[in-house]
């Protein structure tokens, strides 16, 4: 015989659910629990697939959750089924024996791979922490965002320029992140610009665009290479470089946003890593090298590491010398989309490429050659004609703010 629940008990149950939320299961490896709703906030720990958390409140792309008396934010992507990976890095250091791994454990795992790859690339491993550290504070980014984003127009931009079905649920493995750090160390040997204000500015613009990308939960970091040539480089894991020459050739913040959007697309869509040969290699998190030795023994691990080192070299060469044309075309398209979603005029990328063609500024990549620029301009015009990107009231250029930053660099 069924009995009705007493009103007092029903009220208390409803109140409990409202206060404490619901239990939910993490469905993706390497889901970071952060202090705030964004990858620019410090990480508390990483949660692995199968971990149960208490979801409390949704905040856009992020969920406020509780796990073992710790509260923080995880990406909404953590609760979606993960896509299968088929590249050589995909199984390398994706999981641990426990439900969570501390920040120190993550650092050890990534550094284990970064050190190996750095030696093979002849990169200066001693500078590793420079690329792992945050280049902005959550407070400084929020201030920049508050004066840049028109919150009234943001919902309409999200709706008009939807990411659609392309949203990815893939996560970088420890090996991929380690290879990206090693590649960044190698690229930095060209020389980095030491200008805290310029670096902070480029990071603010880049992260604002990245927030509107498929990689909204990736911890992007942007550095400036002190070179007069025109180029940009995107490393696995989220480290991106722009040359000083590219900055000096620009005339607006919107041009910078589109340029960085292109590089962000390379990272968020895993360009380059998709090309790698698939190998079924399963290891546990923790110290990467020790874990692999325990899993396979010295003889097998030497062969696996040798193959991964070759992959790291191949990935570096792709980044430095240019990617496949289909990846560049997708990055152009998505770069405009990301910039537009952030409120920047996507037509600005054509202005930038036209300027390069007219002035014939030096470049170190075929992607910015005169011939390639002509192809890209035609392609971008076709992309813009196919979209509703003509309304100037939707977008900003922030030319004066950009020129003020540019002049500050040139006077030093």
| Stretch among 154-158, 195-199, 301-305 having the lowest mean pLDDT | 301-305
Kindly state whether residues 327 and 398 are assigned to the same domain.
yes
- Average pLDDT, whole number, for the chain? 79
Kindly state whether residues 176 and 45 are assigned to the same domain.
no
Calculate the alpha carbon distances from 30 to 93, 171, 212, 234 in Å. 10, 7, 21, 21
Mean pLDDT of 148-154: 74
Distance in Å from the first CA to the final CA of the chain: 84
Q: Is the pTM of this model over 0.75?
A: yes
Q: What integer pLDDT is reported at residue 12 of this predicted model? A: 45
Return the percentage of the chain with pLDDT > 70, whole number: 70
Residues 6+ apart with CB under 8 A from 312: 117, 120, 121, 179, 182, 183
* 209 pLDDT more than 80: yes
Kindly state whether residues 171 and 232 are assigned to the same domain.
yes
Which residue did the predictor score with more confidence, 260 or 10? 260
Kindly state whether residues 24 and 109 are assigned to the same domain.
no
pLDDT class of 299 with cuts at 50, 70, 90 = very low
Residue 282 belongs to some domain of the structure: no
Q: What integer pLDDT is reported at residue 373 of this predicted model? A: 80
Q: What integer pLDDT is reported at residue 17 of this predicted model? A: 43
Total length of the chain: 412
Query: DSSP letters along 192-236, please?
Result: B---HHHHHHHHHHHHHHHTTSTTTTS--EEEEE--SSB-EEEET
Strands 239-243 and 221-225: parallel
Q: What integer pLDDT is reported at residue 301 of this predicted model? A: 42
**R_g of the chain, CA atoms, integer Å:** 22
Kindly state whether residues 25 and 160 are assigned to the same domain.
no
Q: Which H or E run contains 326?
A: helix 325-341
- Out of 61-75, 76-90, 395-409, the most confident range is 61-75
Residue 370 belongs to some domain of the structure: yes
Kindly state whether residues 217 and 156 are assigned to the same domain.
yes
Give CA–CA dist 112/290, Å, rounded. 9
Q: What integer pLDDT is reported at residue 94 of this predicted model? A: 53
Question: DSSP E strands: which ranges in 317-393?
Answer: none
Residue 284 belongs to some domain of the structure: no
Residues 6+ apart with CB under 8 A from 236: 89, 172, 176, 177, 179, 180, 183, 267, 270, 272, 273, 315
Q: Quick one: residue 3, left, alpha or beta (phi over 0 = left, psi -120 to 50 = alpha)? A: beta
Give CA–CA dist 395/397, Å, rounded. 7
Sign of CA dihedral 188, 90, 76, 254: positive
Kindly state whether residues 31 and 147 are assigned to the same domain.
no
Tell me if 383 sits within 8 A of 333, measured CB to CB. yes
* 16 pLDDT more than 90: no
Kindly state whether residues 155 and 70 are assigned to the same domain.
no
Kindly state whether residues 235 and 383 are assigned to the same domain.
yes
Residue 50 belongs to some domain of the structure: yes
Q: What integer pLDDT is reported at residue 318 of this predicted model? A: 53
* 369 pLDDT more than 80: no
Give CA–CA dist 251/244, Å, rounded. 13
Which residue did the predictor score with more confidence, 236 or 404? 404
Domain stops at, among 79, 111, 126: 79
Residue 8 belongs to some domain of the structure: no
Kindly state whether residues 126 and 217 are assigned to the same domain.
yes
Which residue did the predictor score with more confidence, 307 or 220? 220
pLDDT class of 283 with cuts at 50, 70, 90 = very low
| Stretch among 92-106, 175-189, 266-280, 338-352 having the lowest mean pLDDT | 266-280
Its domain, for residue 68, covers 20-79
Rounded to 5 degrees, what angle do the CA atoms 207, 77, 339 make? 30
* 285 pLDDT more than 60: no
Q: What integer pLDDT is reported at residue 153 of this predicted model? A: 65
Tell me if 128 sits within 8 A of 113, measured CB to CB. no
Q: What integer pLDDT is reported at residue 269 of this predicted model? A: 84
3-state secondary structure of 123: coil
* 294 pLDDT more than 60: no
Kindly state whether residues 48 and 119 are assigned to the same domain.
no
Residue 212 belongs to some domain of the structure: yes
**Which residues are paired to 63 by β-bridges?**
58, 74
* 291 pLDDT more than 60: no
Q: What integer pLDDT is reported at residue 45 of this predicted model? A: 94
* 138 pLDDT more than 90: yes
Mean pLDDT of 187-196: 93
3-state secondary structure of 304: helix
Residue 320 belongs to some domain of the structure: yes
Kindly state whether residues 46 and 107 are assigned to the same domain.
no
| Stretch among 164-178, 259-273, 276-290 having the lowest mean pLDDT | 276-290
Give CA–CA dist 373/376, Å, rounded. 5
| Stretch among 12-26, 37-51, 137-151, 363-377 having the lowest mean pLDDT | 12-26
- Domains identified in the chain, total number: 2
Sign of CA dihedral 317, 199, 45, 22: negative
Sign of CA dihedral 329, 335, 340, 344: negative
CB atoms within 10 A of CB 52: 12
Give CA–CA dist 390/243, Å, rounded. 30
**DSSP code for 34:** E
* 225 pLDDT more than 90: yes
Rounded to 5 degrees, what angle do the CA atoms 158, 161, 167 make? 85
Break the chain down into helix, strand, coil percent, rounded to 5: 55, 15, 35
Torsion of CA 149, 150, 156, 162, to 10 degrees: 0
Q: In 115-127, which positions are buried (b, 16+ CB within 10 angstroms) versus exposed (e)? A: bbbbebbebebee
Residue 15 belongs to some domain of the structure: no
């Amino acid at each position: 015989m069924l009995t009705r629940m007493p009103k007092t008990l029903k009220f208390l149950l409803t109140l409990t659910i409202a206060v404490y939320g619901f239990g939910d299961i993490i469905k993706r490896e390497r889901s970071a629990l952060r202090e705030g709703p964004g990858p620019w906030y410090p990480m508390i720990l990483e949660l692995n697939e199968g971990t149960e958390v208490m979801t409390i409140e949704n905040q856009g792309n992020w969920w406020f959750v509780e796990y073992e008396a710790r509260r923080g934010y995880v990406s909404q992507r953590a609760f979606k089924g993960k896509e299968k990976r088929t590249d050589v890095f995909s199984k390398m250091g994706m999981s641990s024996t426990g439900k969570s791994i501390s920040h120190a454990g993550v650092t050890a795992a990534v550094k284990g791979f970064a050190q190996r790859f750095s030696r093979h690339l002849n990169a200066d491993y001693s500078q590793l922490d420079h690329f792992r550290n945050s280049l902005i504070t959550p407070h400084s980014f929020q201030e920049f965002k508050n004066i840049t984003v028109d919150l009234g127009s943001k919902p309409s931009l999200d709706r008009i320029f939807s990411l659609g079905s392309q949203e990815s649920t893939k996560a970088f493995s420890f090996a991929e992140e380690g290879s990206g750090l090693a590649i960044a160390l190698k690229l930095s040997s060209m020389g980095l610009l030491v200008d805290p204000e310029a670096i902070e500015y480029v990071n603010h613009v880049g992260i604002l665009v990245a927030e509107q990308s498929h990689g909204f939960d990736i911890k992007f970091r942007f550095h400036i290479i002190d070179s007069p040539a025109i180029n940009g480089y995107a490393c696995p894991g989220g480290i991106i470089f722009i040359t000083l020459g590219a900055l000096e050739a620009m005339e607006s913040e919107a041009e910078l946003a589109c340029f960085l959007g292109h590089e962000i697309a390379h990272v968020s869509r895993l360009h380059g890593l998709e090309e790698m040969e698939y190998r079924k290699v399963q290891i546990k998190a923790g110290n990467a090298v020790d874990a692999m030795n325990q899993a396979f023994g010295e003889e097998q691990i030497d062969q696996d590491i040798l193959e991964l080192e070759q992959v790291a070299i191949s990935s570096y060469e792709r980044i430095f010398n240019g990617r496949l044309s289909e990846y560049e075309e997708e990055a152009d398209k998505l770069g405009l989309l990301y910039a537009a979603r952030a409120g920047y005029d996507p037509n600005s990328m054509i202005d930038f490429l036209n300027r390069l063609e007219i002035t014939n500024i030096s470049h170190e990549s075929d992607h910015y050659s005169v011939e390639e620029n002509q192809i890209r301009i035609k392609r971008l015009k076709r992309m813009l004609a196919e979209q509703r990107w003509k309304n100037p009231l939707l977008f900003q250029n922030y030319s004066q703010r950009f020129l003020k930053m540019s002049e500050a660099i040139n006077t030093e």
